[in-house]
A and B are shown apart, each in its own frame.
Chain A
Amino acid sequence: MNRDDQARIFTFLVTSARGCVDEPPIYGPLRLLEAYSMLLDMQEPGETDEFYYRLNEKIEDLKDMCMIDEGRFIDGLDRVIEELTGHILEGE
């Protein structure tokens, strides 16, 4: 992560923290997912397990779903976590 990336993610996190005080509660999960995508973008090629990139494609779809159908958004998050759990347990 270079200095530009650091500025980007640190600023995003702190600005989001302030924003979340006033914004609708559902925006909080959205900001965290955005941080996931941003951090992934900041990884050097080959540095990160491919699995996390594949997961990001699902996360990108979920971000749209958040504003369309909150129930499907939450279900989608649960499925992503299931995949993450499986991935972590397989790696042990």
Chain B
Amino acid sequence: MRVFQGAALLVKEWRREKLTFDEMIVSRRSVRQYNDREVEKDKIEAMIYAAIWAPNAGNFQVLRFVVVRDKGTLERVKMFSPGMPRTAPCVIAICADLGEAEKRGGEFAKKIVPFDAAFAAQNMLLKAHHLGLGTCVIKSYNEKSINRILKLPGEVTALMLVTVGYYDTAPEAPERKNLSEVLHYESWESEMRRDEQG
């Protein structure tokens, strides 16, 4: 049985590597149920490397990443993160040094740091998906409590949490709007021509 499961896993990973860029984007899911398999350190570092190359305001690079895999710390983070899947074996806190942001780019830079975090997160999610890992972005947590648990210094704060882990079954795809519902050319009043709709 174990040999069969191993073979099935290899086939699954081989198929994933064959996905086109578009298929990769469309097949990514927010995974909320993980299995027990441990997430390898090199895969986590590959995700963070992808995050480093996300666009960021003024190239100030004020984001920092705290990876939590220790069961005790994970448990504490979960306690103050009601939106976090209970089975997640790993969580990455996307943190920002707001003091450094302000010093480098003033109030404006400080205000747009959450955008940097979102860009970094998307790179991480896609990289994780490419590596066969499931992820879920979490914003439902108590920021002050998480900052204390992770011992974040000064004006460093946790802007977003990303759970990471292996999973057995991918969640079904949610519905998405089609192009004609969201796309406007040149101005808001325009409509997509029927022959332009995909």
Which of B33, B75, B83, B142 has a CB less than 8 Å from the CB of A64? B33
What is the number of residues of chain A that contact chain B, defined by CB distance less than 8 Å? 20
A18 and B86 contacting across the interface, CB-CB below 8 Å: no
A66 to B142, CA, bound (A): 22
Chain A residues in 8 Å Cβ range of B79: 7-8, 11-12, 15
Which of A15, A34, A38, A63 has a CB less than 8 Å from the CB of B145? A15
Interface positions of B from 173 to 187, Cβ below 8 Å from A: 173-175
A14 to B172, CA, bound (A): 31
A23 and B140 contacting across the interface, CB-CB below 8 Å: yes
Given contacts A11-B79, A16-B82, contact A64 B140 (CB under 8 A): no
Instruction: Determine whether A89 belongs to the interface, using a CB cutoff of 8 Å to chain B.
Output: no
Instruction: Determine whether B65 belongs to the interface, using a CB cutoff of 8 Å to chain A.
Output: no
Give the bracket for the number of chain B residues in contact with chain A.
10 to 19
Query: Which secondary structure dominates where chain A touches chain B?
Result: helix
A67 to B33, CA, bound (A): 14
B32 and A31 contacting across the interface, CB-CB below 8 Å: no
Which of B32, B75, B175 has a CB less than 8 Å from the CB of A69? B175
Given contacts A15-B142, A19-B142, A64-B32, contact A34 B171 (CB under 8 A): no
| Cβ contacts A to B, 7 pairs, < 8 Å | A7-B79, A27-B83, A27-B140, A34-B86, A63-B32, A67-B30, A68-B172
> Which residues of B are at the interface with A, using a C-beta cutoff of 8 A?
30, 32-33, 75, 79-83, 86, 140-142, 145, 171-175
> Which residues of A are at the interface with B, using a C-beta cutoff of 8 A?
7-8, 11-12, 15-16, 18-19, 23, 27, 31, 34, 37-38, 60, 63-64, 67-69
The 5 closest A-B pairs by CB, nearest first: A16-B82, A11-B79, A68-B174, A64-B171, A15-B80
